[in-house]
Amino acid sequence: MKIVIITETFLPATDGVVTRLTHAIDYMLDCGHEVVIYAPEMEDMPIQYKEALIIPFKAVWFPFYRYRPWAIPTTDIQKQLAIDEPDIVHSVNPVGFAAAGIHYAVKMDIPLVASFHTNVPQYLSYYHLDVLSPVIWSYLRHWHNLAAANMVTSQAMYDLLEDNAIENLVILPKGVDLDQRDPKFYSDQMRERLTADPKRDKLLLFVGRVAAEKEIDSLLSWLEQRDDVNLAIVGDGPEKEALEEKFAHLPVTFTGFLHGEELSAAYASADAFIFPSVSETLGLVITEAMASGLPVIAAESAPTKEQIKHLENGLIYQQGDTDSLDQCLTLLDQEEVVENIVAKGQDYAQQFSWENASQSMVAVYESVLENRKK
């Protein structure tokens, strides 16, 4: 099978979408499939990922979101599809460039699937554009309903898209690299690196894109009231400089992106993982933290509650409620509670693998192609 993946983000960018795609492509290549990736052109962009060719498309940078470029939807997509002659097209997060991919795949009668990884309508609120939400849902509904299958990453997103009249929905399983997310990567050196104030005995870790929708700043007033907490923020993004300024008077360490064993060590060397966002479609980092042996403290949201059962395999707090968050921190002092949460969190994470998640994605492709033959 020849697969063209048209995505709004890919290497060298680092985020949950890229993580899922690279693992899926690994699996596809191992199965003997041919993969071509269409993605926005970026500095230091590789010409291929393993045996998968990467086709860069001209992109622009927007001042309101400087984290990554946006590829320009042009007829070059149609021209490249004519050259590649894929058996199936996968449009990832069809908003601009990937939506144009849907347009041309339909025009050329190429079997098509799409996937939803970013809750754009909810993200609008972080940029004071809530008024556009109904328009965006109409726009997304138009493009997604041209696809033979629409893959989502959680039951919460399945329900959300179904409520907004998007059809042909399929839930993809979670994935985690259990070889790279393990308590064995604990490092005194990494813990020291992440700790801004050694006098404070609790080290909380956040890993992810440093953007408004991650709601890291919701921790500011709470952290100002604590005298026992260090916060380490691993990642980069458009809000990093602003947050560095906001948190400058507090024991907060910004590392930028970490990769490989450094990232594994960061996960394994903290006391707990903090997840303040309520806008995620899944939150892969939650499962990664569990696999690494960390108790997870997460703001309540539908996707978060799919993964975390309060006081069983993690802790849930109400975003903006400092008392709720304080109660979670108090529980970290109870060794038996923490040991139980960590053990059940690791048991939960052990259920998932990238091989199974990727196999499910390929199974969707195969089902669409099989249905086309009928």
Query: What is the residue extent of each domain of the chain?
Result: 2-175+353-373, 183-349
DSSP strand pairing (48-49 vs 52-57): antiparallel
Residues near 251 by beta carbon (within 8 Å), at least 6 away in sequence: 195, 196, 197, 200, 229, 230, 231
Do the domains spanning 2-175+353-373 and 183-349 agree at the CATH topology level? yes
* Element containing residue 303 per DSSP (H, E): helix 302-307
Residue 77 CA neighbour count, 13 Å, CB half: 29
Report the distance separating Cα 295 and Cα 345, nearest Å. 7
Residues near 139 by beta carbon (within 8 Å), at least 6 away in sequence: 99
**pTM to 2 decimals?**
0.92
Report the distance separating Cα 147 and Cα 142, nearest Å. 10
| Contact indicator for 70, 9 with CB cutoff of 8 Å | no
| Contact indicator for 140, 120 with CB cutoff of 8 Å | yes
Kindly report the CATH number that applies to the domain delimited by 183-349.
3.40.50.2000
| Contact indicator for 149, 166 with CB cutoff of 8 Å | no
Among residues 7, 1, 93, 104, which one has the least CA distance to residue 49? 7
Which CATH number, 2.60.40.420, 1.10.1660.10, 3.40.50.280, 3.40.50.2000, labels domain 2-175+353-373? Answer: 3.40.50.2000
Query: What is the residue-level pLDDT of the chain in tens, covering all 374 positions?
Result: 999 999 999 999 889 999 999 999 999 999 999 999 999 999 999 999 999 999 999 998 876 666 678 888 999 999 999 999 999 999 999 999 999 999 999 999 999 999 999 888 887 776 777 888 899 999 999 999 999 999 999 999 999 999 999 999 999 999 999 999 999 999 999 999 999 999 999 999 999 999 988 999 999 999 999 999 999 999 999 899 999 999 999 999 999 999 999 999 999 999 999 999 998 888 899 999 999 999 999 999 998 999 999 999 999 999 989 999 999 999 999 999 999 999 999 999 999 999 999 999 999 999 999 999 87
Quick one: how far is CA 296 from the chain centroid? 16
Amino acid 120: pLDDT: 86
DSSP strand pairing (2-7 vs 48-49): unpaired
Amino acid 153: pLDDT: 94
Residue 301 CA neighbour count, 13 Å, CB half: 26
